Amino acid sequence: MLQVPLRENHQASTKAVILVGGPSRGTRFRPLSLDVPKPLFEVAGHPIIHHCLKAVAKVDDVREVILVGYYDESVFRDFIKDASKEFPQLRILYLREYTALGTAGGLYHFRDAILKGKPERLLVLNADVCCSFPLGEMMRLFDEKDAEAVILGTRVSNETATNFGCIVSDSHTKRVLHYVEKPESHISNLINCGVYLFATECIFPAIRSAIKRRTTRPRLLSYPSSDNLESSFIATGDDEDAAKSEVLRLEQDILSDLADSNRFFVHETKDFWRQIKTAGSAVPANALYLQKAFQAESTELTPPSATIVPPVYIHPTATVDPTAKLGPNVSIGPRVVVGAGARIKDSIVLEDAEIRHDACVMHSIIGWSSRVGAWARVEGTPIPVGSHSTSIVKQGIKVQSITILGKECGVGDEVRVQNCVCLPYKELKRDVSNEVIM
Ligand code: GTP
């Protein structure tokens, strides 16, 4: 067990890392990730990572946020420039892994940069989660328990729990007793939300121990073989096999060992939480963030009226006919045009799209510069409240419950599109349902 000395200074410095992944991840986010990296996809009027960053910016103690991923450096340049203006107290930087190193491998690879300035605590957020990020509560639990790690947990149904990392905890002390990533059988319905707070003195030695174990213990089936992992961490070549051997994941390789210590705790959130994995999952994430903004009386949202059923976000450059009815849970992007008598509900309409008069869009995402014709109907199927899946079974076939039009798609006048995923640049001239249109 790794012991951390008792902290006297409760204003300990904290750094934050947001794990943004790279182009080979987020494939389930297609077709939307064909045109924009998933972390920059806009839900409720802001890129997915903006929601994470906004939460981190509220933690007094944090002065530096590092985005760690393996996208090209240029990908986050504009985002960082804008975010640095919005959150001037934060130094925001992007560190690029030369290849996918895994959720723990990336942290370890950049340990010197992370440890610069000797932060005592490290917040780690998966970029692909949507939640209220109760970081303040996690910090309080961390201090109260003199923890070496705190994980954010949430309860899901017993049937879905095994799709996630499962936490067995002492409900009284909040101590994590066991952690198993995607167990084969039910062990707990308290699951890992992908948000962590670590003592820096604990997490890096824990990753180092996992690396050492790899080199001395036969490899688990799911990992590629590695003869000398420790030294391959120092190497910076782009050899594929060497790179694979460096892959280390917090979930599989680190958290279960942390549970062996008695200073790993869970903060259970009763607030909303969803993963943003499939493209369709952007729709519930959009709804949850809009609802949160509405509760907070955000001035970014469009005020309710006879034709605006809140919460609705309309970009200032969009043109919405006053007879169109929007909401609830609708985001309208820059320069979108919505015609007279259109009806839009539970949907995201992306930049430069056009929804012509009397069209109906529900439970859908309308891609950049796409056009929905007059009297057309583009719809998905509502996702049951609390469901963590965006697929449904229709006529014996598993389909996406959310209809998604990729970039520059066209739906003809009076055409009906139902539960379809449509790749970019397609013209839909006849009714379609339950199909992937390639
Ligand atoms: P599953 O949930 O297991 O299906 O895998 P996933 O790839 O969809 O998600 P995972 O739990 O592996 O990733 C959690 C977060 O970490 C996401 O925001 C990913 O983008 C990010 N991530 C995953 N792998 C890497 C990696 O190798 N490097 C970095 N920097 N981030 C990663």
CA 48–ligand 1 middle distance (angstroms): 14
pLDDT at residue number 217: 60
Backbone angles phi and psi of 171, in degrees to 5: -65, -25
The residue nearest atom 14 of ligand 1, judged by CA position, is 126
Residues 6+ apart with CB under 8 A from 225: 219, 245
CA 371–ligand 1 middle distance (angstroms): 33
Contact 127 CB / ligand 1 (< 6 Å): yes
Identity at 185, one-letter amino acid code: S
CA 22–ligand 1 middle distance (angstroms): 9
pLDDT in tens, the chain (438 residues): 344 343 444 445 999 999 999 987 667 888 887 888 999 999 999 999 999 999 999 999 999 999 999 999 999 999 999 999 999 999 999 999 999 999 999 999 999 999 999 999 999 999 999 999 999 999 999 999 999 999 999 999 998 999 999 999 999 999 999 999 999 999 999 999 999 999 999 999 999 988 888 777 655 444 433 333 344 443 343 444 444 556 899 998 899 999 888 899 999 999 999 999 888 999 999 999 999 999 999 999 999 999 999 999 999 999 999 999 999 999 999 999 999 999 999 999 999 999 999 999 999 999 999 999 999 999 998 877 777 777 777 777 777 789 999 999 999 999 999 999 999 999 999 999 988 888
Query: What is d(CA 5, CA 146) in angstroms, rounded to the nearest whole number?
Result: 9
Query: What is d(CA 329, CA 347) in angstroms, rounded to the nearest whole number?
Result: 7
Query: What is d(CA 87, CA 183) in angstroms, rounded to the nearest whole number?
Result: 40
Contact 128 CB / ligand 1 (< 6 Å): yes
CA 100–ligand 1 middle distance (angstroms): 9
Provide the 8-state DSSP code for 74: G
The residue nearest atom 20 of ligand 1, judged by CA position, is 21
CA 373–ligand 1 middle distance (angstroms): 38
Query: What is d(CA 258, CA 434) in angstroms, rounded to the nearest whole number?
Result: 44
Contact 406 CB / ligand 1 (< 6 Å): no
Contact 388 CB / ligand 1 (< 6 Å): no
CA 93–ligand 1 middle distance (angstroms): 19
Atom of ligand 1 nearest to the CA of 251: 11
Contact 342 CB / ligand 1 (< 6 Å): no
437: three-class secondary structure by DSSP: strand
pLDDT at residue number 438: 86
CA 23–ligand 1 middle distance (angstroms): 11
Contact 19 CB / ligand 1 (< 6 Å): yes
A 10 A CB-CB count for 415 gives 20
Query: What is d(CA 292, CA 272) in angstroms, rounded to the nearest whole number?
Result: 9
Separation in Å, CA 315 to CA 118, 160, 429: 41, 36, 29
CA 250–ligand 1 middle distance (angstroms): 10
CA 275–ligand 1 middle distance (angstroms): 11
Whether 436 and 417 have beta carbons less than 8 Å apart is answered as: no
The residue nearest atom 30 of ligand 1, judged by CA position, is 69
CA 337–ligand 1 middle distance (angstroms): 35
The residue nearest atom 4 of ligand 1, judged by CA position, is 277
Contact 203 CB / ligand 1 (< 6 Å): no
Best mutation site among 126, 129, 253 for ligand 1 pocket (most ligand atoms within 8 Å of CB): 126
Query: What is d(CA 223, CA 102) in angstroms, rounded to the nearest whole number?
Result: 12
The residue nearest atom 19 of ligand 1, judged by CA position, is 21
Contact 21 CB / ligand 1 (< 6 Å): yes
Per-state percent for the chain, helix, strand, coil, to nearest 5 = 25, 30, 45
Contact 246 CB / ligand 1 (< 6 Å): no
Contact 97 CB / ligand 1 (< 6 Å): yes
Contact 101 CB / ligand 1 (< 6 Å): yes
234: three-class secondary structure by DSSP: helix
Region class of 148: left (phi > 0), else alpha (psi between -120 and 50), else beta? alpha
A 10 A CB-CB count for 354 gives 20
CA 124–ligand 1 middle distance (angstroms): 12
Atom of ligand 1 nearest to the CA of 182: 3
Domains of the chain, CATH where assigned: 14-277 (3.90.550.10), 301-437 (2.160.10.10)
Contact 103 CB / ligand 1 (< 6 Å): yes
CA 25–ligand 1 middle distance (angstroms): 7
